[in-house]
Amino acid sequence: MNHEEHVVIERFERGWLVFGIGMIVVFVVLIAYTMANFGGSIPVGTQRIDPTKVRSEGEFANPRIEQIGNEYVAYVQAFAFGYLPAEMRVKKDRKVTFYVTSPDVQHGFMIERTNINVQVIPGEVARVSHTFRKAGEYQIICNEYCGLGHANMISKIVVEE
């Protein structure tokens, strides 16, 4: 390989390296932008909780969904094997904030056809929110492996007009 060819190839290499690293930066910036601005569906660990007392004390002893002004707040227990409340009803186009925790082992809290997918860890309360734009039934399923009844952990949220 003569010198000139070498220089050309080196220029190519440098160009592609810059391009490659540039793309990674663009990639990360885009993800950061999306997460910061449309990040409601990102679960946030809000507080610690004693998993042995989830069923008897505090907000989760009374699992429910309640309307506060124009929004909904839901306190959900994911347990082996099921969810409480077993069914939730909301109106569409209203923001719903879920607080989820578990009294026993880890579970999943995934709402079909949305971006909500929470790993529910006993001892932690996860918060995640979503606004349902379409009426209909959305299934909630568990996708953290939790034992024998893992496949049967199903609940639903009904979104009304």
What are the catalytic residues? 79, 81
Which part of the chain contacts another protein (CB under 8 A), choosing from 1-9, 61-69, 87-95, 146-154? 146-154
Q: How far is the CB of 105 from another protein (least distance, A)?
A: 4
| Interface with another protein in residues 40-99 (CB under 8 A) | 41-45, 48-53
Tokens of 76: 């959900």
Tell me, residue by residue from 12 to 41, as one string, x for binding to another protein by CB under 8 A and - for no binding: --------x---x--xx--xx-xxx-xx-x
Closest to another protein by CB, 67 vs 145, is: 145
CB atoms within 10 A of CB 48: 10
Any contact of residue 151 with another protein (CB under 8 A)?
A: yes
CB atoms within 10 A of CB 63: 22
Q: How far is the CB of 89 from another protein (least distance, A)?
A: 22
| β-strand pairing of 71-79 with 82-84 | antiparallel
Q: How far apart are the first and last CA of the chain?
A: 72
| β-strand pairing of 87-91 with 154-160 | parallel
Closest to another protein by CB, 97 vs 143, is: 143
Q: What is the distance between the alpha carbons of residues 101 and 105, in angstroms, rounded to a whole number?
A: 10
Which part of the chain contacts another protein (CB under 8 A), choosing from 61-69, 70-78, 88-96, 139-147? 139-147
Residues 6 or more apart whose Cβ sits within 8 Å of residue 120: 78, 100, 101, 102, 106, 107, 108, 109, 126, 144
User: Where along the sequence are the contacts to another protein (CB under 8 A)?
Assistant: 20, 24, 27-28, 31-32, 34-36, 38-39, 41-45, 48-53, 104-106, 108, 110, 112-113, 115-119, 121-124, 126-127, 141-148, 150-151
